[in-house]
Chains A and B, each alone.
Chain A
Amino acid sequence: MMQTLIVCEKPDAAARVARALDEDGDPRRIETQGVPVYESRNRHETIIVCSALGHLYAVDSKTHTSRRYYPVWDFEWKPKHLIDKKSARLGRWIQIISSLAEKADRYINACDYDVEGSLIGHTILRYACRGADSKAQRMKFSTMTEKELKSAYKTLAPQLDIQLVEAGRTRHELDWLYGINLSRLLTESALKQNRGYSTLSTGRVQGPTLKFVVDKEEEIQCFTPTPFWTIDATLTQNGQEYTLEYEKEKISTLAEAELVVRDCKNCILEVESTESRNIQQSPPYPFDLSTLQSEAYRHFGYTPSRTLALAEKLYLEALISYPRTSSQKLPPDIGYSEILHGIASMAQYRTLATKLTLQNSLHPNQGPKDDPAHPAVYPTGESPKRALIQPEANLLNLIIKRFMSAFAEPSLRESSKLTLKKDPHRFFLRGTRLLREGWIQFYRPYASDESQNLPDLKVGDKTPITKIQATPKFTEPPPRYNPSSLLRKMEEENIGTKATRAEIIEILYRRSYIKNIRIEATPLALKLINLLNKYCPLIIDPAFTANLETAMDNIQTLQITRSHVIAETLDHLRPIMLDLIAREDEIGSQLAEAVVSQRIARLTFDYPCPQCGSKLKIIRSRTSGKRFIGCTGYQNGCRFTLPLPQFGNLSITQTNCKICGFQLVQARTKGRRPMTSCARCYSNKTRANATEFPTAAAPSAAQQATDKLVEATSLVKDQ
């Protein structure tokens, strides 16, 4: 009997594919050395479904094995477990896949259908399956439903998508060349100053992204407010108060503002005109990944990386389609009606989904963005087989409602404006009323349906102003980026990919280049960007990175070759590296200084010790290894301590507790929502109650006496 080997991207995906392709829907699970493999059978063949764990192969130096050597120009693809100690278990996966490949007659790449998935499958088939990439077939699907998987298996592409593979290879090789060379240079040059180790990194996408934050930070730090005035006026009609809008939004001089108030105080306003128009608002476009991330941040506060992780989980459970998509289009072949019937089978959507199924025809409102590989994110209509955790349920609800609203009719809103005069001044009253709900009823509570009624006034009517004053205000600095708006900026500037942008932002947090949800650049980031701007500005130029992105897109469309792009990169990077190496000492001394001062600042609270007024610091106990807050006035007899969370990277935020005023501490753990808490309130609470989450009990005075105030970076790194 013929034997087929299918390579999937993740174990969960392998399980689903195996179940879909097995005649009885019950494949045999064989686990060898912790590596799960599935055996599915049908009348004609045995199908072995194995999986990767993301990338099993990665780029590494061909000749230099030292992780500290630079510059490096020669590279090759190697098993990841030989490059990174943390990936040691991947060796077993490669070994098992290799042994399975020996018995196979046919090979299929069933990894996610995008650049990364194509590359993951390709490297496995090429290196672990000894050149099977040349004869392998490609299984393409956008959802993990049984129906689609079966259909994808029946309609296999005869060969691998080589253009996607080439584009993926180039991206990894370019990122490696830039990342390894620049990051090693930065880290090593700072290390050579003998002031402690700190990983400093930059890269093709990381550098320009950090520059966006640093530019914004500089704009905020260099901001000087200027005064202006607004006119706040109201009128009362039938016992209801209405806020008037003065014709000038901002008045730049006090004299003019006072003149308006003087002229209009206790005056009678006459209605000069009334305007009313109906505005039709089309339904929102179906979700592409970045809009989904942005909307999830807006409504639930989920960071882009968290949204992606949740969406991938929902995808692997066949609840939604593939989330890493740029498309805002829903092609008819996804089966609108079937999906809506599926949604209607869930009690909470029954009424709304049924309304749509009763429509004569179904036409979604589609957006302009497209993706050749996948449609927009949509629900499959399948009900969850387990109780979803709240964030998963929230995201699924958002996706289902967005999908339904795309098929609904436009909403109709009446917008009205009354113009009232007291010559030479004009005031406006604006109102809005929903005439037809349309898609809004399907997208509640994520769409606003607020109405603002207007008083019953006609042209020529007169009404007194009840209150008027000039309010002094000052211009504000530009708003900071948050993870969602930074991701949007990356997308606008065309740097990174839909799949990598969220991870890049996470790296910036991990490297302590940025902090807080309203993103602030740290002094280290300011120094780094300042140095890169001085010595190699092109590296952090978004336009340069965007050009490389375009070059990689052109590889996919066969307009340019991988070797051409790599050769150009080497020509560009070599002189930059040689120049930087010549200035290594200068760069290193400046970076080391920034690293040391950041290390101290990261561990020191602005809030003084409530007992003695000295500085409070994060300290790790030498005896227990636990972290706690201690007072630097310890030598003078102060014994003030507070407990701290014992997991994640800790950072001291600039936000103060609303209850006690103490500075909040944030614990960040990869893939989890950052936890912000007040150590002081927690301490007070735990004294009253039993402990709820793992924190270190503050050490006794005797124990603290044996602990030294250690201020190494490792203090706040617990991963």
Chain B
Amino acid sequence: METEQATADLCPVHARVLDSVKKAYEAWAKAYGSLRLPDFLQRVAKLQGTGRTTREIVEFLQKNPEKWK
């Protein structure tokens, strides 16, 4: 059986989504040349295609920016 690592704050699914949000930020920053993290989070939160779990992570990061690292 596959096992996933949960972090101190997040369940395995949210931990995985946090990773993919971090990767997406890299893609966004490259796409726009430069992009501040709060602007990225704000824009992702507003997009229709953003998934519910991703939205939860984005809101979590907006409230707890220190968790980004």
Q: Which residues of chain A come closer than 8 Å to B31, judged between CB atoms?
A: 226-228, 252-254
Task: Spot the interface stretch: A138-146, A169-177, A215-223.
Answer: A215-223
| Chain B residues within an 8 Å CB radius of A474 | 47, 49
Instruction: Determine whether A537 belongs to the interface, using a CB cutoff of 8 Å to chain B.
Output: yes
Tell me whether A194 is interfacial, beta carbon within 8 Å. Answer: no
**Nearest neighbor of B47 in chain A, beta-carbon distance:** A225
Q: How many interface contacts (CB-CB < 8 Å) are there between A and B?
A: 59
In the bound complex, residues from chain B placing their C-beta under 8 Å from that of A25 are none
Complex contact A223–B28 (CB within 8 A): no
Interface string of A227-254 (1 = CB under 8 A from B): 1100000000000000000000000111
**Chain A contacts for B44, CB-based, 8 A:** 224-225
Asked if B51 and A220 sit within 8 Å, CB to CB, the answer is: yes
Q: Is B6 in the interface zone, CB < 8 Å from A?
A: no
Identify A253's interface contact among B21, B30, B52, B54, CB under 8 A: B30
A218 touches B49 (CB 8 A): no
Interface string of B9-42 (1 = CB under 8 A from A): 0000100110011001001101111000000000
Complex CA–CA separation, A253 to B27 (angstroms) = 9
The CA of A252 and the CA of B17, in the complex, are separated in Å by 22
Q: Among B21, B30, B33, which residue has its beta carbon within 8 angstroms of that of A224?
A: B21
Give the interface residue-count category, chain B.
20 to 34
Residues from chain A with Cβ under 8 Å of B50 in the complex: 223-225
Nearest residue, chain B, Cβ from A229: B31
B49 — which chain A residues lie within 8 A by C-beta? 223, 225, 474-477
Is B32 within 8 A of A224, CB to CB? no
Which residues does chain A contribute within 8 Å of B27, judged by CB atoms?
A: 226-227, 252
- Are B16 and A222 neighbours in the complex by a CB distance under 8 Å? yes
A461: min CB distance to chain B, Å: 36
Interface check A690, CB cutoff 8 A: no
- Residues on the A chain within 8 Å of B54, using CB: 221-224
Pick the residue among B21, B28, B52 that contacts A227 (CB under 8 A). Answer: B28
Chain A residues 164-188 with CB under 8 Å of chain B are none
Q: Which residues of A contact B17 (CB under 8 A)?
A: 222, 224
- Determine if B1 is an interface residue (Cβ-Cβ < 8 Å): yes
- Nearest CB in chain A: distance from B12 CB, A: 11
Does residue A387 face the partner (Cβ distance < 8 Å to B)? no
Q: Does A1 count as interface, using CB distance less than 8 angstroms?
A: no
Task: Determine if A254 and B28 form an interchain contact, defined as CB atoms under 8 angstroms apart.
Answer: no
B53 touching A222 by the CB < 8 A rule? yes
Give the residues in chain B near A222, CB-CB below 8 Å.
13, 16-17, 20, 51, 53-54
CB distance from B30 to the nearest CB of A (A): 6
Q: Are B33 and A254 in contact (CB under 8 A)?
A: yes
Query: Is A224 in contact with B1, judged by CB distance below 8 angstroms?
Result: no
A358 located at the interface, meaning its Cβ lies under 8 Å from any Cβ of chain B in the complex: no
Instruction: Provide a sorted-by-A list of 10 A–B residue pairs whose CB atoms are within 8 angstroms.
Output: A222-B17, A224-B24, A224-B54, A225-B24, A225-B47, A225-B49, A227-B28, A253-B33, A476-B49, A477-B49
Closest 10 CB pairs of A and B: A221-B51, A224-B24, A223-B51, A225-B49, A221-B53, A226-B27, A221-B52, A227-B31, A222-B17, A224-B54
